[in-house]
Structure 1
Amino acid sequence: MDRNGRLRVGIAGAAGRPRIFREALSAHPRAELAALCDVTEERLDKAREHMGAVPGYLSYESMLAEAELDAVIIGTPMALHVEQAILALDQGLHVISEVPAGISLEECRRLAEAAERSRGRYIMAENCNYMKPHMTITNMVRDGLFGELYFAEGEYLHDAKALCEATPWRRVWQTGVNGITYGTHSLGPILDWMEGDRIVKISCIGSGRHYTDSGNRPFEQEDTCIMTARTEKGRLVKIRLDLLSERPTALNYTLQGTRGCYESVRHELLGAGKLFLQSGGGDDDKREWTDLMKVGRDYVPDVWRTVPEAMLGPSGHGGSDYVMMTDFLNALTEGKPSPLGIHRALDMTLPGLISRESAERDGAWLDVPDSRGWFE
């Protein structure tokens, strides 16, 4: 903390996605942006255009050694997340890492070990958990309105072929591997709704390959991959990932319980969706869908009532980036637990890593490890 008791935060990969966090950092009374890091001076200049005149570093290690930080936001390519997180955790810093937590089981184990021994805390920045409809559904689930949950599905559909050309790391780590290794957007909100539960077994199959990159090479990832999963409490979950098909971006979710269900707006990225909740009257003629934000307005978290208007557009993922970072900063400055700590982050990451092997084995059902058991 600085002399005023504020959390000093550095950002790695500052010219990329983390720029959207500036508003939350600037607005927070107990945090300040203290350092930026990226790979070229040009990218640092680009970051400063959004972040202001903040000290910049071309070396991540130098930023950690010299900037007197309390926490670091890791917004770098997927393959760097674990190594950079471990470096920070081993210096006692808090880590807020973009998704997924890691790209292999071995990496995830090393990350969990580092988080276990560090006085710093690890948090994974899955913004889909913080979208307004998803947080509203969470509060309604906690209040028992859905009854006993037994099925959910999540879909992340995003034609990333052009992104793979603009950011080559995506061609390696997103469309260069099969299965649902980039699955936390789909699975994250579901595990939030299913509090205290985790995926224990999965099967993954794909639809085949119909697209090629600019070099006319088929993508290693199949166009659509479907992961069927069973949870520890016996619930059924279906996850779809599609980064190649010709279609607009969409995030689709379903939740089914004994007293009702939720369906997102399947053709809109940020739509609220509709609910059916059992009224108790038993009159089938009156069964109908109702807009989530009409029925659930009393369940919208208070934090959503103070999101700046500028953050509510697509670039801020409808405001979820602001809400997420505000929640993380509150957790770190107030000593409160984060809902996306190391083990929940791995609950969201490990099923997708296992899905790669399942897809290679024609959909074989495989067990998903529990990171909590790695330290028993």
Structure 2
Amino acid sequence: MDGSVSRRTVIGAALAAGIPTAVHAQTARRRIRMGVVGGNFGTSFYWHEHPDCVVEAVSDLIPERRKRLQEVYRCAKAYESLEKLILDPDVDAVAVFTGAPDHVRHCLACLKQGKHVICAVPAAMTLEECGRLLEAVKRTGLTYMMAETSWYHQSVISARKWHREGRFGRIFYTEAEYHHPGLEPLFRNPDGSRSWRYGFPPMHYPTHCTGYLVGVTGERMTRVLCTGWGDGHPVLKDNPYKNPFWNETAFFTTSQGNGFRVGIYWNAPVGGTERGQWFGEKMTFYDPHPNGTGHILRRPSDQTERDDGGFIRKLAAFEAYAQPQWWKTEMLPAPLRHESGHDGSHTFLTHEFVDALVSERKPEIDIHAALAMTAPGIVAHQSALRGGEPLKIPSFDR
């Protein structure tokens, strides 16, 4: 399939994928004044490049990281803490890139002070926190968005477009894998103390996988059976989460009765990857595999082959797909049409949040989508702790 992208294709892809194009009308638009909290991951976004945004203030508890935020975003105003930053009346919205266990506490504080929020993943740590966050967003009427990168991976944008066009037919099964061996250096803070990642349960970080389902078909996960593996390592015996697992594998049933498998592996002889594959009636799409295959499409054909037992079976057509780089197109404002982190997703996340605020619309990854990607992992981990007991997943779409 030709990977070149025409202007008409871009506009059609944006509409099919649910993404507003960034062809700005020549009219004045208000600028969003951002506060950015968290000087590690928080430095990797592009608020300062968006034509409808300016970084008003930054914050980090550590002076060196605070200075780094100021340098990246060319921002003169800095605060020692999130709690001080959110008191600034000139800040409209806050990007919360703090440790996962603090996300809900920090987001609730921002919302209480009347600030819109975009937050790193996961949205919450417990089902109770999911409920509290949802209630606060509904009560305040403010915008909440989760910065899940997989939603804007280039292949996920393509899959979302094809699904909405009906090219898959029914997607009856989806798989997603997040393999990240070698996380041990992140288990410690610079001062040697334990970081929040020390012993963190794999399924409490599910959204790099669940985005491959929710971000394409919009389905919700309703039931799960999950298993975990650990080797008794000291990290697994003594962590604040009482988590005994390095790796967890879950099988979900979706709201449409389809299957979805998720594998999150942090200690295994595997290639690092964030990938998915979608199996449809009319077409199957495979993300690149760390063992060497690229983007692949399979479609029905009239060809046949013989298996090694001599039986004839159908042979689906094999097609290498030249994945478009959607970040080069009019889906983004011109200043953001450049490479960015996590397969080009950071510029998309930047634009989606800013444009949602300026246009006074809901972002794609709103509170409901965020919890639909987060809560299933929380329940999956409980299933693993119970030896693979099938469990129901509550809905937060109310």
* TM-score using structure 2 length: 0.82
SS of residue matched to 2:114:
coil
Quote how far apart the aligned CAs of 1:253 are.
Answer: 1.1
RMSD (Å), alpha carbons: 3.0
- Are residue 192 (structure 1) and residue 215 (structure 2) matched? yes
1:137 to 155, 159, 172: 159
Which residue of 2 is the match for residue 115 of structure 1? 137
User: Which residue among 86, 101, 116 is the counterpart of 2:123?
Assistant: 101
Paired-residue identity, %:
25
TM-score (norm 1): 0.86
Structure 1 letter corresponding to 2:339: M
Distance 1:4 1:306, change over 3 A: closer
Cα displacement (A) at 1:82: 0.4
- Name the aligned partner's letter for residue 371 of structure 1: F
What code does the residue aligned with 2:262 have?
A: I
One-letter code aligned to 2:393: V
C-alpha separation between the residues in 1 aligned to 2:91 and 2:252? 40
Matching residue of 2:397: 372
Q: Which residue does the alignment assign to 1:303?
A: 331
Conserved 8 A contact 1:230-1:237 = yes
In the aligned structure 2, how far is the partner of 1:121 from the partner of 1:305? 21
1:40 deviates by 2.4
Report the CA distance between 1:347 and its aligned residue.
0.4
Deviations 1:137-193 (A, max 9, x none): 110111111111110011101121222234799966545244511010011122111
AA partner of residue 146 (structure 1): F
Contact 2:29 2:358 in 1 (8 A): no
**SS of 1:293 mapped into structure 2:** coil
Deviation string, structure 1 residues 288-343 (Cα, Å, up to 9, x no partner)? 3222326x789x9742695757524xxx1232111221122111111122111001
* Contact 1:228/1:236, CA 8 A, preserved across alignment: yes
Structure 1 or 2, whichever has the larger Rg, is 2
Matches within 5 A, 1:261-340: 261-267=284-290, 273-278=295-300, 282-284=302-304, 287-293=316-322, 302-303=330-331, 311-312=339-340, 316-340=341-365
Is 2:34 the partner of 1:9? Answer: yes
Q: Distance in 2 between matches of 1:351 and 1:168?
A: 34
Cα deviations by residue, 1:113-150 (Å, 9 ceiling, x for unpaired): 10010131110000111011110111011111111111
Q: Does 1:20 align with 2:44?
A: yes
CA deviation profile, 1:223-270 (whole Å, cap 9, x unmatched): 32101100111010000111223444211211101112111112079x
After superposition, the Cα gap between the structure-2 partners of 1:347 and 1:171, relative to the gap in structure 1 and judged at 3 Å, is: farther
Residue type of the alignment partner of 1:139: K
* Residue identity matched to 1:289: F
The answer (yes or no) to whether the contact 2:232–2:244 under 8 Å persists in 1 is no
Structure 1: tracts of 5 or more residues without a match? none
1:258 corresponds to which residue?
Answer: 281
In structure 1, the residue corresponding to 2:137 is in which secondary structure? helix
